[in-house]
Structure 1
Amino acid sequence: MKGSKLLISLSIAMLLMLLAACGNEPTVSEETPQEEVQEEVAVENEGEAEEETEPVAEDTELGFEVWVADQGSNEIHIIDGETQEIIETIDFNDVGDKPHMLVFDEHGEYAYVANMGSGSVSVIRAEDREVLTTLETGEGAHAAIPSPDGERVLVANVPAQTVTEIVIDKENEEFSVNREIALDQVDALLDEEEFPNQRPICLAYTADGGKAYVTLGGGGLVVIDVESMEVIQSFGKSQVGAHGCGTILSPDGKHMFANSGSTELAEYYVFDTETDELIFTAPTGGLDAHGVAFTPDQQHLWMVNRVTDDAAIIDVTSLEIVDRVEFVGDAPDLLVFSPDGKFAFITLRGPEPATGTHDMSGETPGVSVIDVESKTKVNLIELESDPHAIDLRILK
C-alpha cells in the first residue's frame, strides 16, 4: 500500500514538472519559426510608430530670381530661376546711366545699383521693383556694396578715387550720403611706383563689417577701417596686380579672396582677415580673372577668366585650384549660383563694352547657364547689349 502511494506521488510530481515546462515554451507552431514571428511583430510595431510620428513632407526647393544689369541698354532684367526666362525689365534710362554693379542686401529686400555713367547709386525695393532713390556718390560709381549689418553701403567711385558711405535707415526707407575717403590723399598710397593710381574697383567686408578690403585699378589693395573711414593697411602693385574685382569673404570669415586680371595676367590672392596679411598668391590658369562666387555648399570658389572664357575652381580649405570649367561662355564677367547649387549663372559681355579698361568684348551678350555637376554650358539667356552686374534674390 505504501508503495502504491509513493508511485502515485511521483507520477503527480512528474506531471506538474511537465506542465510547468510546457508553460515556459513560446506557443509557436512548427510551421512558423520563432525568428519569423519576431520579425513580423517588429515590422508591425515599426509601421505603427511610423504611422504615429511620420512628418509631413516639406518642399525644400527655394524659388529665386536672377537680376541682371545690361549697362549698354540701361535695363535691369529679372529672370525666373526655375524657367530661366526673363519675366520683367526695369527701364533705367531716366534713373541712372550704365548700371554696372547690382548687389542685394543681406535679406534680399533692396538692390543697390552703381551707375557708372552718371556717378550715382540707385536703391530698388525688390518686392515691387520700385526705385526709391538715386544718390550722387562720385564720378564713375563702380560698386555699391551693403554691409553685413545692413547699416551702410560703401561705394567705390573709380575716376573720383573716392570711397563714399551711404547710411541706411530701413525703418523709414531713407538713404543718405554720409562720409567719404579720398584715396589719392592717403599718404600710404602716394608712392607712384607701387600705386600708379588710387582708383577703387571692388570691395568686400569682413564678417563683422568692421573692415573693407578694396582693390585698386592700377594695382594694389587697401584695407579700410569702416568706423574711422581710414586706411589701416595697404599692398602695392608688386603684391596685388591691377584691375581686380574678385574680392569676397570666405564662408568661415577667416580669409578674404581678391584677384587681378588683364590680357596678360590672372592671379588670385588670399588674406588673413585677423592680421590683414597676404598669405597666398597663385595664378588662375587663365587670363583676366574677374567674377567670383562660392558654391552653396561653401566648399569651392569659382573664379571666371574673361579672356580665356573659363573658370578656376578653388578649394576653400587648401586654397588651391582643384578643378576647372573649360568653357563658360564668351567673355564671362560676374556669376551667382542657384540656391540648390545645380546651376551657375554668368554674365557674358557684348561686342561693344559700355565700360572697361582693356579688351573684354564678347560675341554673345547674355547670361550663360552652367550645369555645375557636368561643368558644361546648358543654356544662354540672350540679352541686348553689354550685361555686367548679376545677383540672386531668394523668394520668401
Structure 2
Amino acid sequence: MDRDATRRRFLAGTATAGAVTVAGCFGGEGSDDEPGDEPADGGYELWALDQGRDNIHFYEPDGDDFEHTDTLDVNDLEGVPDEGVVPHMIAFSSDYEYAAVACTAGARTLVFRTEDKELVGNLETGAGSHMAAFSPDDEYVHVDVIDEETIVRVEADLENEELEIDDELYLPNDETVQEAGIDSAAPICHMFDDRGRSVHTLGPSYHDAGLVIVDHEEFTVDVAHPGEEVPTNCGTMPHPTDSKFYLTAGLPSDPEEGVEGVGDLYVYDTAEDEVIEHKSTRGIDAHGYWYTPDGEELWVLNRETNDGIVVDPGTDEIVEEIDAYGPAQDDDPAESDAPDILWSSPDGEYMFVTLRGPSPLSGDPHAATGVTPGVSVLDVESREIETVLEPDPIEEYTDEEIEDEDTPTPDFHGLGVRPIGEYDTEIATSPPF
C-alpha cells in the first residue's frame, strides 16, 4: 500500500503499560454520573491521521468553528522505530477510552489512552498493518496485516493497560480459504457482525478482492468467498440492527488502457452468509462510509470521482447523491479532491471526511491523488461543504517539494471522532453496534 516501502523500516517494539486513567464518560452503562445528576454537556474530539507527515491532529468544535487543539508526531514516541511509522487507520474501544492506530509502515499497531494521548501499547503486528479494531467486548484487537496476509489477534487487558499478541492467522494456510480457491488472501479492513465474527475484505487491488469471516472465539475462518463471488476490497460496515453487512468494492480507472474503474456496494446477509444485493455507488473507486447517529442514513464515497451516495439502511435504497466531498471537483482526477474515510459528529450535524494529498502515500495514485489535503466538514442536512480543516496547508509547499518523494507532504487518511460527555443517539456512534 505504501508509495515508498523503503522509506521506513521495521524495528522491534514491545507493549508498554502505565497507570489507568479513565477518560470522560460516554453515558449509559458504565457512566460515572450518579442518578439525578444533570447530563454532561456534549462535546467531541476529532482525530485526523496525516499519514504523509506521520502526525495525528486533534480538533474540537468551537461554536460554528473548529479549534485545532493539539498535534501528535507519532515518530517522537518512545519505542517507535528510528525510521518512523505511518499512522493509517484508527478505531476506538467501546467506551472511547482507548484508540488503536494501525501503521502501514513500521510494522506495528499503536494503542493510546485517549484522555491524555499517552501511548500504552506498541505492538509488532507485522508489515503493512492496515487496520486495527477492538472486538465488541474490548478483550481483543484484530489487526489486518496486508504484506504478511495475516490477521493478528492482540489480547487487550485495558483495565491494567496490558496488551500482547495472542495469536496469528495466516490466511493462505487456512483450509476454508484454500477450499474457496483464494490464492492471494491479504486482509484489508474489518468490523464485527451481529454474531461477533470479524468480517474482512481482501485486496488491496480489486483483482485480489474477496471476503473472509473469522469466528472470534475459535479464531479460525468460518466462511470464505473468492473475488469471483464477492469482489470486495475496501470498507466493511455492519447494519446497526439487522443481520446485514455493507461492503465496498473499488477500482481506479486506467486511462492508458481505456479501462473504467469500479464503484460498487454489496449488501451481505450475515445469517445466510450470502450477498443479497449489489448496486453501483454512481462513481468510481468506492471506499469509505459512515452512518448518521440516528441510523437513518449511510453515506458512501467514491475516491476517484469525489462524490457519493446516501443509502437508507431500512430499505437499502439510494435516496440521495453527494455531489462533492472535497471542494476541488473536476473530471480529471488529478485536478479533483480525493476523499477517503468518513465519520459523523455524535450530534448528527456534520460528516467529517479525510482528503488525500497531491503526493499520496498509499492507494493507486490516479485515484488517491488529491488537491486539498485535510478534513472536509459537510453539513448533514444540506449535504454541502461547510469548511475544510487544513492543519498543514499544501500552499506552504513548493511544487518541487510535492514532487520529491523524499519530502513528506500532508496526506490525510484515517479519521475518528471521540464523544466527550453524553449524547442521545439512536445507534452507537461507531460500530460494533
TM-score bin (small chain): 0.7 to 0.9
Q: Structure 1 residue 275: deviation in Å? A: 2.2
Residue 113 of structure 1, aligned match among 101, 106, 122:
101
Q: Per the alignment, in what secondary structure is the counterpart of residue 156 of structure 1?
A: strand
Which residue of 1 is the match for residue 256 of structure 2?
A: none
Give distance in 2, aligned partners of 1:390 and 1:199. 22
Instruction: State yes or no: 1:93 paired with 2:75.
Output: yes
Q: Structure 1 residue 66: deviation in Å? A: 0.6
Residue 48 of structure 2, aligned match among 68, 93, 100:
68
Q: Structure 1 residue 227: deviation in Å? A: 1.1
Give distance in 2, aligned partners of 1:365 and 1:196. 36
Which residue of 1 is the match for residue 275 of structure 2?
A: 278
Q: Once the two structures are superposed, what CA deviation does each residue of 1:85-139 show, in whole Å capped at 9, x if it has no partner?
A: 3110111114351100011111110010001101100011011111112100111
Which residue of 2 is the match for residue 371 of structure 1?
A: 379
Instruction: State yes or no: 1:197 paired with 2:222.
Output: no
Give distance in 1, aligned partners of 2:282 and 2:99. 33
TM-score normalised to structure 2 length: 0.75
Give distance in 2, aligned partners of 1:358 and 1:183. 28
Provide closer, same or farther for how the CA distance between residues 58 and 101 of structure 1 changes in structure 2, counting only shifts above 3 A. Answer: same
Q: Per the alignment, in what secondary structure is the counterpart of residue 314 of structure 2?
A: coil
Unpaired runs of 5+ in structure 2? 1-35, 253-260, 327-336, 393-409, 422-433
TM-score normalised to structure 1 length: 0.82
Residue 149 of structure 1, aligned match among 109, 122, 137:
137
Give distance in 1, aligned partners of 2:365 and 2:214. 28
Residue 166 of structure 2, aligned match among 174, 178, 183:
178
Which residue of 2 is the match for residue 267 of structure 1?
A: 264
Count of aligned positions: 338
Instruction: State yes or no: 1:257 paired with 2:264.
Output: no
Which residue of 2 is the match for residue 393 of structure 1?
A: 418
Which residue of 2 is the match for residue 288 of structure 1?
A: 285
Is the Cα contact below 8 Å between 1:262 and 1:358 reproduced in 2?
A: no
Residue 359 of structure 2, aligned match among 352, 357, 362:
352
Q: Structure 1 residue 57: deviation in Å? A: 12
Question: In the alignment, residue 136 of structure 1 is paired with which amino acid?
Answer: E
Q: Structure 1 residue 60: deviation in Å? A: 7.9
Moved segments of 4+, more than 4 Å = 56-61
Instruction: State yes or no: 1:243 paired with 2:251.
Output: no
The structure whose RCO (Cα within 8 Å, separation 6+) is larger is 2
Question: In the alignment, residue 76 of structure 1 is paired with which amino acid?
Answer: I
Instruction: State yes or no: 1:224 paired with 2:214.
Output: yes
| Identity across the alignment (%) | 38
Is the Cα contact below 8 Å between 1:162 and 1:182 reproduced in 2?
A: yes
Matches within 5 A, 1:34-49: none
Give distance in 2, aligned partners of 1:199 and 1:57. 49
Q: Structure 1 residue 187: deviation in Å? A: 3.4
Give distance in 1, aligned partners of 2:141 and 2:307. 31
Question: In the alignment, residue 349 of structure 1 is paired with which amino acid?
Answer: R
Give distance in 1, aligned partners of 2:143 and 2:242. 22
Q: Structure 1 residue 205: deviation in Å? A: 0.4
Q: Structure 1 residue 336: deviation in Å? A: 0.8
Q: Per the alignment, in what secondary structure is the counterpart of residue 354 of structure 1?
A: coil
Unpaired runs of 5+ in structure 1? 1-55
